[in-house]
Amino acid sequence: MEIYDLVVIGGGPGGYLAAERAGHAGLKTMVIEKREFGGVCLNEGCVPSKTFLNSAKVLDYANHASNYGVKVSGIATVDQKFVVERKNGVVKMLVSGIKAQLKRNKVTMVNALGEIQGRVEGGYAVKAGDQTVVAKRLIIATGSMPVVPPIQGLKENIEKGVVLTNREILDLTEIPNKLVVIGGGVIGLEMASYFSSVGSEVTVVEMLDKIAGPTEKEVSKILQKSLEAKGVKFNLGCKVTAVEGDGVVFEREGKTEKVSADKILLSIGRRAVTQGVGLENIGVNLERGAIVTDDRMRTNVANVYAVGDVNGKIMLAHTAYREAEVAINNILGKNDVMRYNVIPSVIYTNPEVGSVGETEESAKAKGLDVKCVSIPMTYSGRYVAENTALDGVCKLVINNKTNTLIGAHVIGSYAGEFIVTVSAMVDLEVDIENIKKLVFPHPTVCEIVREAIFQI
């Protein structure tokens, strides 16, 4: 059996980046992917959804062009077939880029199911299609899949194609008249934003009393209002109890209601993929369905690491990237640990949301002595120049004891791009007085951070 320094199972962001970094460092590396390299992120997640959302943004601009003194004759509409074709082109280009990077770094790519067979002398036996190799070390990066709860009628309607997950909805070539979204989390909101822009009647049914899960309350409310202004209807505090061929049944304060639908999106969370990987053959510990890892991405089994969604910590592509680097650095004998408190997140709705660190609520729950400042985005000249809906905010959370920023929450244009600026300030624990001395280019929307800092 051929011996590899490292075998990576799963070719998504966690897996491909780990393999790339390992190959670059001179390790003899194999990466095994059962479907498409690029994983969920490139093929049916981050990239396809953002391609869709960009088309919606262009459409929104075209239909509101007169607000900016631009005359457009007639109503702009979307060519959904073209949107899907364009998305496929974007995915193809990026996936081939990843494969080229892996090749450049001398990584062996195998397109097959990867299964750990057990321990052998010198490592672990791994089956990759019709070959079995020995891995001195293993990285499990098998990702996640949608949660499908035992709701009456759900499975049957998935099979009938009435209920869609992220995979199918991002291949939809026809715009449904009525789309019901189960779950007002990130996937649900991004898809609600897209489909409402392109003409669907969208209804979201969410179990909690707010949308966007852990998002800062003030920001979450503004996002809800913005989406409502686009026509999205929200049913909050409503638990789905059944799915029928023509709609979704839910309970509101003990009473049963039904909302009709042509298509239904199921987006109530994701779970780690741990089946069919052979984890039981070497005794990898799981907790609540996900692989248990420490801050160096080590599992309980020597020389076996797990990165990305499969460890169930923070299911974001950039978390997977960083975890992959931490794992490789530890394999290479470098001291590197994963910190989860400063991972930015972005919701790519229109308007978009950028968040990092503590919210006012989470900081107070931890007993931290904090002050908060929240200012309207209209403090930014560029924001006012470029928008007509001017309801965005920027909220900062400051630790009084250390006089540093510990959280930032922004809703408005480019928030997803400039949140990294604030992340750096939070991560590097820069003193507020030093932040005040930083020069921001003018006019930029990012200047809102500087404005907010001076309001403290």
Task: Determine phi and psi for 390, rounding to 5 degrees.
Answer: -110, 40
Query: Which one of ligand NAI, ligand FAD, none interacts with residue 347, CB within 5 to 8 A by kind?
Result: ligand NAI
**61: closest CA among 422, 358, 389?**
389
State the binding partner of 110 from ligand FAD, ligand NAI, none, CB within 5 to 8 A by kind: none
Q: Which of 283, 133, 260 is CA-nearest to residue 200?
A: 260
Q: Taking Cα atoms as reference points, which of 183, 189, 42, 173 lies closest to residue 101?
A: 42
The answer to the question of residue 268 lying near ligand NAI (CB under 6 A) is yes
- Residues at the interface with ligand FAD (CB under 6 A): 9-15, 32-35, 39-41, 45-46, 49, 113-114, 141-144, 166, 187, 273, 276-277, 308-310, 315-318, 320, 348
35 binds, among ligand FAD, ligand NAI, none (CB under 5 to 8 A by kind): ligand FAD
Query: Binding partner of residue 213 among ligand FAD, ligand NAI, none, CB under 5 to 8 Å per kind?
Result: ligand NAI
Is the Cβ of residue 314 or residue 389 nearer to ligand NAI in the bound state? 314
The neighbour count for residue 62, using CB atoms within 10 Å, is 15
C-alpha count within 13 angstroms, C-beta hemisphere, residue 25: 19
With beta carbons less than 8 A apart as the criterion, state whether 202 and 181 touch. yes
- Beta strands, E only, 149-190: 163-164, 178-182
Closer residue to ligand NAI in complex, CB, 236/430? 236
Cα–Cα distance, 143 to 149 (Å, whole number): 19
Q: Buried b / exposed e across 289-326, counting CB within 10 Å, b at 16+?
A: ebbebeebbbbebeebbbbbbbbbbbbbbbbbbbbbbb
Looking at beta carbons only, is 55 or 380 nearer to ligand FAD? 55
* Per annotation, catalytic residue among 64, 318, 409, 442: 442
CB 371 within 8 A of CB 432: no
Nearest residue (CB) to ligand NAI, 269 versus 289? 269
Q: Which does 107 bind (CB under 5 to 8 A by kind): ligand NAI, ligand FAD, none?
A: none
Query: Which residue among 153, 199, 237, 269 contacts ligand NAI (CB under 6 A)?
Result: 269
Pairing verdict, β 404-411 and 393-399: antiparallel
Of the ranges 13-21, 152-160, 202-210, 403-411, which one interacts with ligand NAI (CB under 6 A)? 202-210
- Both tokens of 293, joined, read 């890892």
Applying CB under 6 A, among 267, 293, 359, 380 the residue interacting with ligand NAI is 267
Piece of the chain touching ligand NAI by CB under 6 A; list 24-32, 127-135, 344-352, 377-385: 344-352
Select from 17-25, 99-107, 262-270, 292-300 the region that touches ligand NAI (CB under 6 A): 262-270
Q: Which stretch binds ligand NAI (CB under 6 A): 30-38, 59-67, 291-299, 342-350?
A: 342-350
How far is Cα 293 from Cα 295, in angstroms, rounded to an integer? 7
Contact 343, 354 (CB under 8 A): no
Go through the chain and tell me how many residues it has.
456
Selected binder of ligand NAI within 347, 356, 377, 406 (CB under 6 A): 347
End-to-end CA distance of the chain: 64
Cβ proximity to ligand FAD: between 142 and 196 the closer is 142
Confirm or reject binding of residue 184 to ligand NAI (CB under 6 A). yes
Residue 447 tokens read as 């200047």
- 98, 223, 240, 435: residue in contact with ligand NAI (rule CB under 6 A): 240
CB-side exposure of 70: number of CA atoms within 13 Å? Answer: 7
Binding residue for ligand NAI, selected from 223, 264, 315, 327, defined by CB under 6 A = 315
Provide, rounded to whole angstroms, the least separation between the CB of residue 313 and ligand FAD: 10
Which CB atom, from 14 or from 351, has the smaller least distance to ligand FAD? 14
CA 317 – CA 322 distance, rounded (Å): 9
Q: Which does 15 bind (CB under 5 to 8 A by kind): ligand FAD, ligand NAI, none?
A: ligand FAD
Q: In a 3-state reduction of DSSP, which class is residue 4?
A: strand
User: Which of 97, 119, 109 is closest to 42 using CA atoms?
Assistant: 97
Q: Which is nearer to ligand FAD, 188 or 407 (CB)?
A: 188
Residue 412 binds: one of ligand FAD, ligand NAI, none (C-beta under 5 to 8 A by kind):
none
User: Is 442 part of the annotated catalytic residue set?
Assistant: yes
CA atoms of 243 and 149, how far apart (whole Å): 11
Interface residues with ligand NAI (CB under 6 A) are 182-188, 190, 205-208, 213, 239-240, 267-270, 315-316, 345-348
Query: Catalytic amino acids?
Result: 442
